[in-house]
Amino acid sequence: MPFKTTKPRTKTNTKPAPKKTKERAKSSKPHGASRQSVATSHGIGDRRKSNLASAPRRTHQIRRWQVVVVAMGIIVVFTTAFYFFFIRPYAYRWQPCYGQEGYGVCLPYGYKVHGLDISHYQGAIDWHQLTQSRLTKFPIHFIFMKATEGGDHLDSTFTRNFDKAYEHGFIRGAYHFYNPNTDPMKQADFFIRTVNLKAGDLPPVLDIEVKGRKETEELQAALKVWLQRIEMHYGVKPIIYASYKFKMKYLNDSVFNSYPYWIAHYYVDSVRYEGKWDFWQHSDIGQVPGIKSDVDLNVYNGALEELLKLRIEN
């Protein structure tokens, strides 16, 4: 039997290791200073939080103030623009009338020959009812009607209105609305083909209201072509219709002053144009029996006998 040897046992330390105890680290600062430091740090944090919290409020207040200022500025601008564009030009409508009241407006004082100008905007007209104006204090004597516009546009009511005015005994006239972008000779020939003026009618009318992109000299040259062509055909000087401002700015010279002038000058007590004029369109809101919508009102600058002399003779 073999001899067994045993490995000698090594002696181990079975004594448990002593437990470590936590020792409070001693601070180099006094205990009171530590509390003060904590308190101080909390104070800084509170102030930062307070500043952060108050910053948006201040910004919000500034923005609100700016909004108020901008809003007030917009209101002032809008009010001013509204007054100059919508109130001031028409303030005459609401002024008390110290002169003659007729056809829903305050009529210019001292004029006895009254008239209208009409187009498709007035729609269907009751001509029989319109003749009743002759029984009023301000009878309608003459009526201008829109005939043509540009080089190819015929007013849809012209033929009927022109015939009815003749049948009911009104002194009638026809006008052409000029388009500065269309050849003047083409426009004149179109008017001639459309309008058959007779003895007793008023001279043809050139209605010029827009300049377009033409230079003043170019516009004037084109208008002279139209006027000369029409005068040659009808044998009478045409009437020029233009607003007071347009006439003064673009047509204020000796050539255009030689033509009878029909001035458009609304909501004023008297004509401010210092030159000679023959007709005055003084309102665009007339209320006339037989016409449902507003209509332009006019007066002739003279007696009825003078108006009759202005008519085409043959």
Does 117 qualify as catalytic in the annotation? yes
pLDDT at 207: 98
pLDDT at 87: 66
Contact status, residue 224 vs residue 217, Cβ threshold 8 Å: no
pLDDT at 4: 45
Q: Each residue's pLDDT tens digit in the chain (314 positions)?
A: 444 444 445 444 445 555 544 444 444 444 544 444 444 445 555 555 555 455 555 555 567 878 888 889 899 988 888 766 666 555 656 667 777 899 999 999 999 999 999 999 999 999 999 999 999 999 999 999 999 999 999 999 999 999 999 999 999 999 999 999 999 999 999 999 999 999 999 999 999 999 999 999 999 999 999 999 999 999 999 999 999 999 999 998 899 999 999 999 988 888 888 889 999 999 999 999 999 999 999 999 999 999 999 999 97
Which residues contact residue 77 at a Cβ distance below 8 angstroms, ignoring those fewer than 6 apart?
A: none
298 φ/ψ angles, rounded to the nearest 5 degrees? -140, 160
Hey, what are 77's tokens?
Answer: 């601008």
Cβ contacts of 181-188, under 8 Å, gap ≥ 24: 181/212, 181/213, 182/150, 182/151, 183/151, 184/222, 184/223, 184/225, 184/226, 184/229, 185/225, 185/226, 185/229, 186/151, 187/148, 187/150, 187/151, 187/226, 188/225, 188/226, 188/229, 188/230, 188/233
pLDDT at 66: 80
Contact status, residue 152 vs residue 190, Cβ threshold 8 Å: yes
Residue with tokens 């003659």: 100
Helices (H) and strands (E) in the chain, counts: 8, 11
pLDDT at 278: 97
pLDDT at 79: 85
pLDDT at 37: 47
Out of 117, 149, 207, 278, the active site residue is 117
Out of 126, 209, 218, 269, the active site residue is 209
pLDDT at 71: 86
**Which pTM was predicted?**
0.73
Contact status, residue 114 vs residue 136, Cβ threshold 8 Å: no
pLDDT at 185: 98
